Copies of this chain bind each other. A is one copy, B any other.
Amino acid sequence: MDWKPNRHSHLTIQEQIVDWIKSRIEQGDWSVGTKIPTQRQLAMEFNVNRSTVQLAIDELKADGFLESKMGSGVYVANNSWNALLNRSQPNWQQHIESSIHKPNYHTIQLINEYEQMDQIIRLGTGELSPELLPTKQIEQSLKKISLDSKEIGYSSPQGSGKLRRILCNYLKKRGIQTNPENILIVSGALQALQLIAVGLLEEGSIVFQELPSYLNSVHPFQSSGMQMISISRDKHLADTLRTLKRNRQSLFYCVPTLHNPTGYNWSIEERKYFYNVCKELNIPIIEDDVYHELLFESPPPAIKSFDISGQVLYIGSVSKTLSPGLRIGWVVAPTPVIRRLADIKMQTDYGSSAFSQEIVAHGISSGLYEKHLIKLRKQLKTRASFVEEILEQRFKKIATWKKSEGGFYIWLRFHKPVVNKALFLKLIKKNVLINPGYIYETRDLHHIRLSYAYASFEELNEGLNILLELIQQ
């Protein structure tokens, strides 16, 4: 709420509050049945006496706009619309409930909301701490960028040609030989998944994944009517896939390098075995490779690097390394796939920010990006050790974990199934935000995705203490 009464108005404070609340109801912001904030909250918000708020609310009750429910608060009344001269109003709630796209899980909505609050300790965030972002370097780059008027118009369907040429070079280091026409610039890896969902699969297709999976915490495929099947990569992989796939269209989504949420890495042999099985069964692979540059040691080759059959849709991004605010990622794939995804992207948002593309092109081609990464890996390693030290000292009896090999996360496993929504909510009340395992695997009540990348050392220490305390209760 941004509004405050105007002390110089010809209306009294009380009248202004009445008008403001009426307009919330009229405009549909507070729909029928909404519980309004408490008098105390409103008084603080408006910076007025609580008695003034009370008088305003009494007036609105008398006029039929609001009603009290015993012991529970004040609500927008059922007949508030009669009070407003029987004006009709769209029933937005009904629109929302019957529409196509799945809502985020409530837990994730809360995470998105609480991540915006300053005082919160973020123990699970998939994002670099502001102090780890090369903000000053980017600011310097902005001063050096000279804009080409043509480049800041509508982009070509596949994105900036300059950036795509630079990426071809950059991808060679990952063992990937490609051409600008095999690259599509997207607004982050998540958009790539969204485009693949609506552009390459028929409804009812199967999307295979491992468990736990990042894909369970977002819904690009689920919202398009795909069936998610979780399987494990063992020696029966080929049989399992064959049995489950039957004649259906399918894809396999995987994060072989610094897996989200576990942080695990596949060996080269696992990668080759997996690729060969998928090739044999004609199951395309989505290789989500957005974390590989954060491995403390040099990463094993991307699956895409031994893809000779155009089987692998490779996704990269700078969101985990340079700045998520840029919203720049890329897909590397066979030409027909890239053309198709580019066509849908043009119908969806007409391309990604030209300015962001320019900044990424400048960062990579100037070598600033590479330099930043070297520093960043060191900082993340220090942070990982710091957290592992705390875990060693205080969590050893109640949990297990694997030493981090890079990236942001430690997949912390509690012996007992204590990580439920109640714990999540209790922690929020204590200003601590976690990413519970159940958003990556519904029935998992043992894990949390612990991130050492965002909170400060003090916050990590304090947050883990609070977590420990609540769990031990």
Using a CB–CB distance below 8 Å, which chain A residues touch chain B? 1-3, 23, 26-31, 87-93, 95-96, 98-104, 109, 112-113, 115-116, 127-128, 130-131, 133, 135, 138-139, 142-143, 145-157, 165, 168, 177, 179-182, 187-188, 190-191, 194, 197-203, 218-220, 223-225, 249, 279-280, 282, 284, 307-311, 319, 323-327, 334-337, 340, 343-344, 346-356, 359
- In the bound complex, do residue B100 and residue A224 qualify as a contact, i.e. CB atoms below 8 Å apart? yes
- A2: contacting residue among B179, B197, B351, CB under 8 A: B179
Q: A3-B179, A95-B201, A343-B109 are in contact. Are A310 and B29 (CB under 8 A)?
A: yes
Q: A152-B323, A346-B104 are in contact. Are A98 and B249 (CB under 8 A)?
A: yes
| A284: chain B residues within 8 A (beta carbon) | 90, 95
Given contacts A135-B152, A190-B349, A220-B347, 8 further A-B contacts (CB under 8 A): A1-B181, A88-B279, A99-B201, A130-B152, A133-B149, A187-B353, A190-B348, A327-B354
Q: A98-B249, A179-B3, A308-B87 are in contact. Are A116 and B156 (CB under 8 A)?
A: yes
- A353: contacting residue among B96, B218, B249, B327, CB under 8 A: B327
Cα separation A87 to B337 with both chains bound (whole Å): 19
- In the bound complex, do residue A139 and residue B135 qualify as a contact, i.e. CB atoms below 8 Å apart? no
- In the bound complex, do residue B115 and residue A127 qualify as a contact, i.e. CB atoms below 8 Å apart? no
Q: A1-B181, A198-B100, A325-B155 are in contact. Are A359 and B355 (CB under 8 A)?
A: yes
- A324: contacting residue among B130, B154, B336, B348, CB under 8 A: B154
| A116: chain B residues within 8 A (beta carbon) | 156
- In the bound complex, do residue A88 and residue B282 qualify as a contact, i.e. CB atoms below 8 Å apart? yes
- In the bound complex, do residue A179 and residue B1 qualify as a contact, i.e. CB atoms below 8 Å apart? yes
- In the bound complex, do residue B223 and residue A325 qualify as a contact, i.e. CB atoms below 8 Å apart? no
Shortest distance from the beta carbon of A33 to any chain B beta carbon, whole Å: 11
- In the bound complex, do residue B133 and residue A152 qualify as a contact, i.e. CB atoms below 8 Å apart? yes
Shortest distance from the beta carbon of A350 to any chain B beta carbon, whole Å: 6
- In the bound complex, do residue A131 and residue B113 qualify as a contact, i.e. CB atoms below 8 Å apart? no
List, sorted by A's number, 13 A–B pairs whose CB atoms are closer than 8 Å: A2-B165, A2-B181, A29-B182, A29-B335, A88-B279, A89-B310, A92-B340, A96-B200, A135-B152, A138-B152, A152-B324, A153-B325, A218-B347
- In the bound complex, do residue A149 and residue B127 qualify as a contact, i.e. CB atoms below 8 Å apart? no
- In the bound complex, do residue A310 and residue B347 qualify as a contact, i.e. CB atoms below 8 Å apart? no
Q: A96-B200, A349-B194 are in contact. Are A147 and B139 (CB under 8 A)?
A: yes
A-B pairs with lowest CB-CB distance, top 9? A28-B310, A325-B354, A130-B149, A28-B334, A152-B325, A353-B353, A98-B202, A29-B335, A101-B198
Q: A109-B343, A308-B27 are in contact. Are A100 and B133 (CB under 8 A)?
A: no
Cα separation A199 to B97 with both chains bound (whole Å): 9
- In the bound complex, do residue B354 and residue A100 qualify as a contact, i.e. CB atoms below 8 Å apart? no
Cα separation A91 to B311 with both chains bound (whole Å): 10
- In the bound complex, do residue B325 and residue A151 qualify as a contact, i.e. CB atoms below 8 Å apart? yes
Cα separation A298 to B161 with both chains bound (whole Å): 39
- In the bound complex, do residue A349 and residue B187 qualify as a contact, i.e. CB atoms below 8 Å apart? yes
Interface centre among A143, A224, A310, by most chain B C-beta atoms within 10 angstroms, is A310
| A191: chain B residues within 8 A (beta carbon) | 348-349
Shortest distance from the beta carbon of A452 to any chain B beta carbon, whole Å: 16
- In the bound complex, do residue B147 and residue A145 qualify as a contact, i.e. CB atoms below 8 Å apart? no
Q: A112-B346, A188-B350, A343-B103 are in contact. Are A199 and B87 (CB under 8 A)?
A: no
Find the B residue at minimum CB distance from A157. B112
Cα separation A31 to B194 with both chains bound (whole Å): 25
Cα separation A139 to B145 with both chains bound (whole Å): 8
| A200: chain B residues within 8 A (beta carbon) | 92, 95-96, 99
Q: A323-B153, A347-B104, A356-B353 are in contact. Are A310 and B90 (CB under 8 A)?
A: yes
- In the bound complex, do residue A347 and residue B101 qualify as a contact, i.e. CB atoms below 8 Å apart? yes
- In the bound complex, do residue B145 and residue A340 qualify as a contact, i.e. CB atoms below 8 Å apart? no
| A1: chain B residues within 8 A (beta carbon) | 179, 181
Cα separation A323 to B355 with both chains bound (whole Å): 10
| A103: chain B residues within 8 A (beta carbon) | 340, 343
